Chain A
């Protein structure tokens, strides 16, 4: 049971380059999220999805785009990378019970992105 898998684990980009981070979950969860973790900042939500074909902005969405064409995949795109986007990115998924989302999230192992 793989859970939540992120690809790639590490990446170095030059300023202005683009890339896509892939998140895949095999737990049939409805909800998926992208967070970034920076020193002293905790985990901040970038974008999230409440189901296939739907996406919404989180706390820090600028400079990122997402897509969820399939229920099990959630893609995070950087169109023109900037040094401020150097961070560790985590994907997570969760499920609802009776429509309530008071459940835990399952996280991937993270992607360490450096923009030079």
Chain B
């Protein structure tokens, strides 16, 4: 049961254009959402996050939008740069048993920014 879904395995965008990466979730108990970026042969690195009490969070070229009624999350990158080419993981967390904040990852979307 995939509670966090990234239905697009890959995305190609022209440099300078907007990249939109999407994520859907099914668990209404998720209260915190994160995006990680991963380059080949490296570990994921944190990019941006959003609390469930907000609908938008912006950090430079990166903006995350949260639509709770649709259980949908999106990451916008504007403008896209070749260095943004990486795999992007959506992640969602909810309080689990024992007080642990359980984090569930999506399967990732590979973004290619074409110069």
Contacts and interface: CB of A to CB of B under 8 A. Distances in A.
A110 B107 contact: no
A2 interface: no
Contacts of A110: 41-43
**Residue of B31, B36, B44, B45 with most partner-chain A CB within 10 A:** B44
B43 A90 contact: yes
A60 B87 CA distance: 23
Given A48-B100, A101-B101, A102-B32, A107 B108 contact: no
A4 interface: yes
**Residue of B32, B99, B103, B105 with most partner-chain A CB within 10 A:** B103
A105 B103 contact: yes
A48 B45 CA distance: 19
Nearest to A44: B105
Contact of B101 (A40, A44, A100, A109): A100
Interface string A11-44: 0000000000000000000000001000011111
A90 B103 CA distance: 14
Contact of A101 (B9, B41, B93, B105): B93
**Residue of A40, A48, A104 with most partner-chain B CB within 10 A:** A104
Given A56-B98, A56-B100, A102-B101, A107 B107 contact: no
B45 to A, nearest CB: 7
A105 B101 CA distance: 12
Interface of A: 4, 35, 40-45, 48, 50, 56, 90, 92, 99-102, 104-110
Given A90-B44, A104-B49, 15 more contacts: A40-B107, A42-B89, A42-B106, A43-B44, A50-B99, A50-B100, A56-B98, A56-B100, A101-B100, A102-B101, A104-B36, A107-B36, A109-B41, A109-B42, A109-B43
